[in-house]
Amino acid sequence: MALAFVFPGQGSQAPGMGRDLAAAFPAAREVFQEVDEALKQKLSALMFEGPAEELTLTANAQPALMAHSLAVLRVLETEGGFDLAARVALVAGHSLGEYSALTAARAFDLPTAARLLRLRGEAMQRATPAGVGAMAALLGADLAQAEALCAAARTDPETGAAEVAEIANDNGGGQVVISGSKAAIDRAVAAAPGMGIKRAMPLPVSAPFHCSLMAPAAEAMAEALERATIAAPVVPVVANVSAAKATDPAEIRELLVSQVTGTVRWRDCIAAMAAMGCDRFVELGAGKVLTGLMKRNAPEATASAIGNPADIEAFLKTL
């Protein structure tokens, strides 16, 4: 049975995240302290206590989610003698989770990943003025339906002006997320039922992620990643935008820049990992969003999540 580790993206954060890990394990406390020091902020206090509105800010949520995931891994390594390079075949992460995956695989050190994610969150927030962009989740839609919907929504019917409506996430299991200018996404939500899409839900996000409106953020990340040290990962990373293995640091740098404006091809990532022999997927960190998606994308595989001390104990018993 080949094992893959996957790492969650934004939306999985919640006050209290990581608190029980920190209480139970010195190794987890060390991770949270390293991240706090790298960011010169007591991010761990925000994770453990909230408030939710502040934790949900993109610049906080991104490094917080990475910290929780890496705290789980650090505990597995110290308490269970777990060797990622020896036991895990592939790693992948959803959007910001790709940074968690790369850090788990030693391509980034922990302080570098924390600082990059803080910058990434701030750059994404700055890329568009508040209220200009929007995102929506399409439920009961396949990729072709979502692409047709975006194509129909891109033109302002009154002025004929072209606006942005693009695929942000192809999550699989009938879930596609679209992103772009608010007017175009509003038109898409209104038109979705008439195009055979079961449900279209506007998402409570602060910016239109993973679309061309994020170009200024991609430029900022290109500069930051050029300065960052990236090592060859000890386990191949399946990248969001290519749905293929990446091990070369120069390629990883390019893929992370492309990811800011590109589609997160999560359905294709899971299919690729399954095709490469992975039949056990374990989600490390906050929530169980990816575990739920896994049951729809790779029903023949086993899927579980590790986020707290009881999960860690249960997982180590299976090895």
Residue ranges of domains in the chain: 2-127+213-317, 133-205
Q: At what angle do helices 97-104 and 110-127 cross, to 10 degrees?
A: 170
Sort 26 into a burial class: Cβ within 10 Å, 0-12 / 13-18 / 19+: exposed
Catalytic residue numbers, as ranges: 95, 210
Q: Residue range 172-191: average pLDDT?
A: 97
**Residues near 99 by Cβ (< 8 Å), separated by ≥ 6?**
62, 66, 93, 108, 113, 116, 117, 120, 256
pLDDT at 39: 98
Q: Look up the CATH architecture of domain 2-127+213-317.
A: 3-Layer(aba) Sandwich (3.40)
Please tell me the distance from the alpha carbon of residue 310 to that of residue 313, in angstroms, as a whole number: 5
Task: Kindly tell me if the per-residue pLDDT of 147 is higher than 90.
Answer: yes
Q: Tell me: the pLDDT tens digits for 270-315?
A: 999 999 999 999 999 999 999 999 988 999 999 999 999 999 999 9
pLDDT at 205: 86
What percent of the chain lies above the pLDDT cut of 90? Answer: 97
Q: C-alpha 162: how far from its chain's center?
A: 29
pLDDT range class, residue 1, cuts 50, 70, 90: confident
Q: What is the CA radius of gyration of the chain?
A: 19
Q: Tell me: the pLDDT tens digits for 232-282?
A: 999 999 999 999 999 999 999 999 999 999 999 999 999 999 999 999 999
Select from 312, 248, 260 the least CA-distant residue to 24: 312
pTM: 0.97
Task: Kindly tell me if the per-residue pLDDT of 161 is higher than 80.
Answer: yes
Q: Tell me: the pLDDT tens digits for 91-117?
A: 999 999 999 999 999 999 999 999 999
What percent of the chain lies above the pLDDT cut of 70? Answer: 100
pLDDT at 295: 86
- For domain 133-205, is the CATH number 3.40.50.1820? no
Q: Residue range 59-75: average pLDDT?
A: 97
- How many other C-beta atoms lie within 10 A of the C-beta of residue 57? 16
pLDDT at 288: 96
Task: Kindly tell me if the per-residue pLDDT of 223 is higher than 80.
Answer: yes
Q: At what angle do helices 26-39 and 58-80 cross, to 10 degrees?
A: 150
pLDDT range class, residue 136, cuts 50, 70, 90: very high
The maximal CA–CA distance of the chain, rounded, in angstroms, is 63
